[in-house]
A and B are shown apart, each in its own frame.
Chain A
Amino acid sequence: MFFIKRILIIFFIFLVIIIGDLVTYDYVEKEDKIKEISSKMTSISPSFSFASKEYKKFVYDK
């Protein structure tokens, strides 16, 4: 039982870190920034490359 309790304590610490990160993240600010820039674009396309031909076609043709 001591072993299980020790594992539960470790997982609890992980959970606190994750919940803390989720709660403190400013989703509203990020959404506003994305909306602000996307409203200026006519046709949005993700600004990253991708290691598949299909995806490159998607990025550059759309």
Chain B
Amino acid sequence: MKEQMVKAKRWFAWAILSIFVAGLFSIPGSVMAWEPKKPVEFVIMAGQGGGADRLARLIQSIIAKNKFSPQPFIPINKGGGSGAEALRYLQDKKGDPHVVMATLNSYYTTPLRSNIGVDIKDFTPVARLALDTFLLWVNSESSIKSVDEYLAEVKKAGGKWKMGGTGTGQEDSLVTGMLEGRFGVKHTYIPFKGGGTVAKNLIGNHIDSTVNNPSEQMGFFQAGKSRPIAAFTPERLEAFPDVPTMGELGHNNMVYFMQRSVIAPPGIPSDVQDFYVGVFKKVNDSAEWIKYTNDKSLGRAWLTGNDLTDFFLKEREVHRKLLMDAGEIK
């Protein structure tokens, strides 16, 4: 009995040791460019099924399909607290070369709205892939065809006009706040769980208007069920050549984008950063990505390195002001 135990212990020690030794031999020389040694965690700042999630999974698929990386990218959703969970997670992963994160605008707004002990300046920038656009939508059964008609109707409703959007303090509510601040109108803002649900509620006439991204409304738009009346972009969108921009209508500075970028934890060596920039550059140039962004009217907007950090910090200030105007922060 006792003998057996000693034997067993020895066996176990051998097993552990052999795994360890094998591990030592496997570490390759440092002359080669850095490559991930295990699957890469691809953290998504939002829950499953939303726009950010779908985009991240598209990127993952493009990487997998074209073998842009020797190790797979594994999407992990950490959508808690409007991305607070993901930001804290990445902060704790300081120096870990096997994690990257897909971000959206909650990258700025979440740390601004509540103190979660994260400064986005610390994160390592990888790449900005796209800027998503916003349009003002109504149901196609509605008589509204222009922004002026829209504003007249909203005013007539006296605060009872139902604007649907994603959670309070997120992008849709900020665009709504922008409309209200500029035109002195009042909406009843109804938060839903995701952009797709918002779009569906517009078509079902449960709400009166939305500020959906093109991708969220595209299916309904093509079926003639919804109507865009203006775009919050500097120039007209290719997919909607007949829809005027807010600027054209004389409302300057009414532009809002949703950024789609990838970042890495703080304190990553530069060769690791270079590797990820390289992977996403290949994604950016891939045929699948170009087709998808064209179809969905998503603006490709490649940016990397310090320029990207500067962009983030500039946008943070823009959002600070937007949130203050909306009364979300002081």
Whether chain B is bound by chain A comes out as no
Seen from chain A, the residues whose Cβ lies within 8 Å of a Cβ on chain B are: none
Seen from chain B, the residues whose Cβ lies within 8 Å of a Cβ on chain A are: none
